[in-house]
Amino acid sequence: MKEPLFLKPVFQEKIWGGNQLQTSFNYELPSDKTGECWAISAHPHGVSTVINGKFKGTKLDELWKKESHLFGNPKEPVFPLLIKILDAEDDLSVQVHPDDEYGKKHAGELGKTECWYIIDAKPGAEIIYGHHAQTREELIEMIDKGQWDQLLTRVPVKRGDFFFVPSGTIHAIGKGIMILETQQSSDTTYRVYDYDRKDDEGNLRELHIQESIDVTQVPHHIPVNEIKQVNVGSSSLTTFLQSDYFCVYDWEIEGSTKFEKQAPYTLASVLNGFGYLFIEEQEEPFELKKGDHFILPNEINNWKIEGDIQLIASTPGSKNSK
């Protein structure tokens, strides 16, 4: 039977987290400082579990290994993507991630290219996105002297904005922002600056200055990214990004929209509304509601979504589907 794989998320407590994942998405949270919902993940720090159908109770990393036909028999050893929802009640640390080469060598895992869809942002909310240093010497000097205001580029954000954050980009999500993050399956973060904050035990979080200097792109280039939007009936379908690592889409559906498979498998997260997912040759649809996350495996070639509903979807990029 052709069926989607609905997944149970894993939650992560963070010093900058809040309780919006409960108030907005109705998730049961482990604490009022829940920063991250790992919605679709096979990363060892938080693996999602299938909650429906034939594979109910199976972890995603296990499926990737044992049922690789679901993903088009890929050659990569690990599920390459990780989908998160983040609730930044407070500022996240200023950070940078390595590329695949550096990540493999120094952390034994993939690098981390990521991108953000802004689900919600309080008035005045900002992200840090890139820096002003022109040379590596200048970067080192400004970090050394703590000249954060001169070094870091701040960008105001609003609901619906999209940012591509390739590995090597200095960045931070500011307080009052909720995002859906599509990223490589990696948990390697190099912290440049943490606002001199202390945790509950009075300790500063570790910084990784040398690694940050090693991997930061200097000078910072704003990645060129063309966003394409089409209307299909009353629905609006947007392609946010087609990169080597993943492609990311926004499906805002009103009524009924048909889809054809574009990649070996497709990931999707419901951000708003309610609807139904119809799979080819099946009469009974699957209910879709805000906060659901699922994968359409390789054997599903066509599907239809009905309702008044918004989903952010992604597929593996060219680097991952070879």
Mind telling me the catalytic residues? 191
How far is 204 from 322, CA to CA, in rounded Å?
42
Contact 268, 261 (CB under 8 A): no
How far is 151 from 208, CA to CA, in rounded Å?
17
List, in order, residues 6 or more apart from 67 with CB less than 8 Å away: 55
Kind of pairing between the strands at 246-260 and 302-316: antiparallel
How far is 189 from 103, CA to CA, in rounded Å?
10
User: CB burial class (10 A; 0-12, 13-18, 19+) of residue 160?
Assistant: middle
Cβ count near 66 (within 10 Å): 11
Residue 66: φ, ψ to 5°: -95, -25
Determine which helix (DSSP H) or strand (DSSP E) holds 92, and give its type and residue range.
Answer: none
Contact 295, 2 (CB under 8 A): no
Three-state DSSP class for residue 320: helix
Could you tell me the end-to-end alpha-carbon distance of the chain, in angstroms, rounded to an integer?
26
